[in-house]
Chain A
C-alpha cells in the first residue's frame, strides 16, 4: 500500500480536544464508510510515528475528513489537533479495513452506538446513508461526558429531524439545565430501549473506547441479538 500526500484544505475545531481535518488527495481511490487511514509524521531527523484514524466523511463527499482527538502526551494527535495549518501536507495511506464498514447494499435496519470520538466512522455511515438516498432506518445512540464534548452535534441533530433517522444522546458526567436526553452510561436497559428488538434483525455497529464497546456488545448478546450482525471497533491510544 503506497503512502500518498494530502493537502489540508480545512480545519475545524469540533470540541476543545477534537479537530476535523479536511484533505484533498490526488488519485484517491475512494473508500467505504467505516474505513480508516494510517497517518505518518516524519521529524526533521527522520524519526517517524504512525497512527490510524477513522475516515469521518462519506464516500460521496468531495473531501476526505479525519476527526482526531488529542490524546494526553500523544505525539501524533497533538500535532494534528494543535499544529496543523491549511495548505500543510499530510502523509497517509489507505483506505484500510474491510470489517467495520457499512454500505447501502448491506441494508438494515441500522443501530449505531458511539462512545466519545468513536462517532467518527459512524458519522461516515450516516452521511453515506443520507447522501446515497438510502431508506434504511437508523437509530443512533451517542454517549459523551458532557454536551461540550459532543462532536458533530448540530449535524447529528439535523439528521435526526429527517425521516428514518432517530438520534439520541446520553451525557454521562455533566448535563446542562433542562437536558432532554439520557443521563447515564450505557447499560442493557438503555440499549434495549434504543435498539430494535432482536426479531427485527438489526445490523449493529459499535465504536468507542474498549469498555464502552464491551458493555454495548455484551448487552446486545444478552438481549438475544445475533453476534453475526454485530460489528465492533475499539478506539484508544496506542502509545502516544
Chain B
C-alpha cells in the first residue's frame, strides 16, 4: 500500500493539474483530507484509492490502450486548492 503521492502523475494525465493537494471527501464516512494522504493500491490491473479512515473505495482508475476509465463515485467531493500553501496550517 502506498499513498496518494504515488498517483500525482496520473492525476496530471486525467485532470491536467496535480490533484494530490486537492481535498477529497469520502462519500461513506465523510472524512476529508488531501488526496496525497489517501491509501493507494497499485499492484492490481488498475489503481484503487481507499479512505484511510473507513477503507471505502474512493476511486478506481484503469488504463487501456491510452484511454483512462475513471470511477470517482466513492468521493462526495474533490476540491482543488488554488493556493496550495494555504494547505499548511500556520
Residues of A whose CB lies within 8 Å of any CB of B are 1, 36, 38, 52, 93-94, 96-100, 105-106, 203, 210, 213, 226, 228-229, 231-236, 238-239
In the complex, how many angstroms separate the beta carbon of B3 from the nearest chain A beta carbon?
A: 5
**Interface pairs (22), CB distance under 8 Å:** A1-B9, A1-B12, A36-B8, A52-B6, A52-B8, A96-B8, A97-B5, A97-B18, A97-B20, A97-B36, A99-B8, A99-B21, A99-B35, A99-B87, A106-B88, A210-B2, A213-B3, A233-B3, A233-B36, A235-B2, A238-B6, A239-B42
Residues of B within 8 A of A52 (CB): 6, 8-9
Residues of A within 8 A of B6 (CB): 52, 234, 238
Whether A98 lies near B2 (C-beta < 8 A) is no
B43 at the A interface (CB under 8 A): yes
In B1-34, which residues have CB < 8 Å from any A CB? Answer: 1-6, 8-9, 12-13, 18, 20-21, 34
Whether A229 lies near B9 (C-beta < 8 A) is no
Q: Which residue of B lies closest to A52 (CB)?
A: B6
Size bracket of the B interface: 20 to 34
Residues of B whose CB lies within 8 Å of any CB of A are 1-6, 8-9, 12-13, 18, 20-21, 34-37, 42-43, 84-85, 87-89
Whether B18 lies near A98 (C-beta < 8 A) is yes
Whether A99 lies near B4 (C-beta < 8 A) is yes
Whether A226 lies near B3 (C-beta < 8 A) is no
Residues of A within 8 A of B36 (CB): 97, 99-100, 231-233
CA distance A106 to B34 in the complex (A): 18
Q: Which residue of A lies closest to B7 (CB)?
A: A52
CA distance A97 to B8 in the complex (A): 5
Whether B9 lies near A100 (C-beta < 8 A) is no
Q: Which residue of B lies closest to A102 (CB)?
A: B88
Whether A98 lies near B85 (C-beta < 8 A) is no
In the complex, how many angstroms separate the beta carbon of B4 from the nearest chain A beta carbon?
A: 7
Whether A210 lies near B37 (C-beta < 8 A) is no
Residues of B within 8 A of A97 (CB): 5, 8, 18, 20, 36
CA distance A6 to B84 in the complex (A): 29
